[in-house]
Amino acid sequence: MKAVTWHGRRDVRVEEVPDPVLQQPNDAIVRITSSGLCGSDLHLYETLGPFMGEGDILGHEPMGIVEEVGTEVGDLKVGDRVVLPFQICCGHCWMCTQGLHTQCETTQVRDQGMGAALFGFSKLYGEVPGAQAEFLRVPQAQFMPIKVPEGPVDERFLFLSDVLPTAWQSVMYADVPEGGSLLVLGLGPIGDMASRIALHQGKRVIGVDRVPERLERARARGAEVINLDEVDDVGEEVRSRTNGRGADAVVDAVGMEAHGSPVAEVGQRIFNALPKRIVAPLMNKVGIDRMSAIYTAIDAVRRGGTVSLIGVYGGQSDPMPMLTMFDKQLQFRMGQANIKRWVDDIMPLLVDDSDPLGTEEFATHQVRLEDAPEAYEKFQKKTDGTVKVVFKPGQSVAS
């Protein structure tokens, strides 16, 4: 089959690789019809290379049709239309029963000290072959697949694999009070969707980014926006719009590659230049993050407010302004999203034909798998209006 594979920093290729096969009785094989490209893939593309292996298959936002099933997959059947969560989870361990699927005790990557295994996400997360491919082996298939109805186009349901529950969790964790305000840092797919969800819930949303079309997407749906490049100080600007207090809550949907942290950017480059075996253990121990978004969050949130970190961070000793965090009496909530925890809450909005979250128009680019190298580059550089790319394996689509 064809698959998108990792070969080095900013080097992804589309290659012929062996088709996946059933390995466990609770495996299934899914033929992928749509597969998203995510800001998290950009971390692998740019910064987390030391944890990747040459030829690793990327991708963790798939949906498709069940092609083959093992003997222990419950009521899953060949031909079912399914979305797969990005994390691999069993559904019956203690963590899964608490709704903490991203900490699943059956799939935790213990030798790396990490939580649940993830599709297409480096050695840190189990080096499980990813979903930007024609076929995917789905472990824990007695629990993993989210069955979705026939009818609407893939994009209506595809984002249940990551973007929708991730954005949903970020808003739930932000815990915006009734009539309160939410500052969303970063208006990539995750921040954009978080804004849509908060607006849908009747909250006041202020979104921040520096990419004009991303700001415009959020503005068009009812968010107030701030262009990073047009203000001296985001915190001051937010306070001026919120009675001098700051936002009740902040979602940081930027993560470790924030724009505006030149020193850490140099650090990330140096790591990229060193041999892998030296860098991987080192990266785990020292700060690798560009912290500008999180510092903005701490500054712009009001005293007693909540910071919800959904952007991915990495290192261990990035300096945090503890005095300010303590003095402002802040609450922090963070982590990978527990996809299955939120599916039942979101599904009613997806089967609603008015499509209140605008899922059908959410992707800006539908492209063939073969166009992955170009799509990664455009998504990273934010050119050609690229906000959300969906790969269409095995289909001919105009790119």
Ligand X SMILES: NC(=O)c1ccc[n+]([C@@H]2O[C@H](COP(=O)([O-])OP(=O)(O)OC[C@H]3O[C@@H](n4cnc5c(N)ncnc54)[C@H](O)[C@@H]3O)[C@@H](O)[C@H]2O)c1
Local structure of residue 102 (DSSP, 8 states): G
Q: In the structure encoding, which two tokens stand for residue 104, read together?
A: 């699943």
34 DSSP β-pair partners:
63
# residues near Zn ion by CB under 5 A: 10
x/- letters, 263..292, toward ligand X (CB under 6 A)? -----------------------------x
Figure out which of the listed residues 1, 228, 288, 297 binds ligand X, where binding follows CB under 6 A: 228
User: Closer to ligand X at the Cβ: 373 or 394?
Assistant: 373
Name the minimum Å distance from CB 106 to Zn ion.
5
* Contact characters 40-79, Zn ion, x per CB under 5 A: x--------------------x------------------
Q: Which residues contact 352 (CB under 8 A, 6 or more apart)?
A: none
Asked if 272 touches Zn ion (CB under 5 A), the answer is: no
CA distance 6 to 276: 14
Q: Are 265 and 54 in contact (CB under 8 A)?
A: no
Binding mask 152-191 for ligand X (x = CB under 6 A): ----------x---x------------------xxxxxxx
Phi, psi of 30 (to 5 degrees): -115, 135
Residues 6+ apart with CB under 8 A from 77: 66, 69
**SS3 state of residue 34:** strand
Q: Which residue is nearest to Zn ion (CB)?
A: 38
Please report how close the Cβ of residue 278 comes to ligand X at its closest, in angstroms. 25
- Binding flag, residue 162, Zn ion (CB under 5 A): yes
| Strand 181-185 with 247-252, pairing | parallel
The reply to whether 130 sits near ligand X by the rule CB under 6 A is no
Does the footprint of Zn ion cover residue 350 (CB under 5 A)? no
C-alpha span between 44 and 62 (Å, rounded) = 18
Residues of this chain that bind ligand X (CB under 6 A): 38-40, 42-43, 162, 166, 185-191, 208-211, 214, 228, 253-255, 258-260, 292-293, 310-312, 336-337
